[in-house]
Amino acid sequence: MNRTTELAYAQQAFDKLLAAYKAEQHNLIVEASSEDEIEAATDRLAIIQGKIWESAAPDLRAVLVKMEIANHETEMPSPKATASIIADLRRLSGQSVSPIFQADLWLTQWEERGGSYLVRHGEAIICGDPTNPRHRKLTRALEQANGSEAVKAMVIQCCKGLVEEVEA
């Protein structure tokens, strides 16, 4: 599949999600009358929104749509919506890692909060406790910044001398 075909497919998929969102919003506001109908429509709308956040925006128009949905009837978009929009903007702008992300500072915070890492067969592995809210917050920040590879490269570089000493 060539790039043009992929883009057209992504645009069609996003447009289908948008149409489903608009139809379900209409259903919720105009047609749903009982509490059960309203609850069911609200649940379906939430599922559609989740699919929107999980899908990559094919262009800036789609990012704008995501932004408008995220801010519709709320003062603060959900973290999932924000992360999705930032990832789309970063991808569409050609930025791989957030320009404000600093791998050394992230790694310092990770270590200070009890996180660790190891290097095995030349590959860095970041180790943390998924039940620890600080680790979850830092992991989320790392994912949002797309900084995982930068942190892993820093870990490998920092451990390089140690690995050579152990192997000798």
Q: Are residues 110 and 32 in the same domain?
A: no
- 49 contacts 21 by C-beta, under 8 angstroms: yes
- pLDDT band at 165; cut points 50, 70, 90: very low
Q: Are residues 156 and 109 in the same domain?
A: yes
Q: Are residues 117 and 70 in the same domain?
A: no
Q: Is the pLDDT of residue 91 over 90?
A: no
| Domain hosting residue 86, numbered range | 3-93
- 115 contacts 138 by C-beta, under 8 angstroms: yes
Residue type at 123? E
The pLDDT value recorded for residue 166 is: 47
pTM of the model: 0.65
Q: Are residues 110 and 135 in the same domain?
A: yes
Number of separate domains in the chain: 2
Q: Are residues 85 and 128 in the same domain?
A: no
Window from 135-139, 152-156, 158-162, 163-167 with minimum mean pLDDT: 163-167
Q: Mean pLDDT for the chain?
A: 88
Identify the CA nearest to 105 among candidates 143, 144, 154, 157. Answer: 154
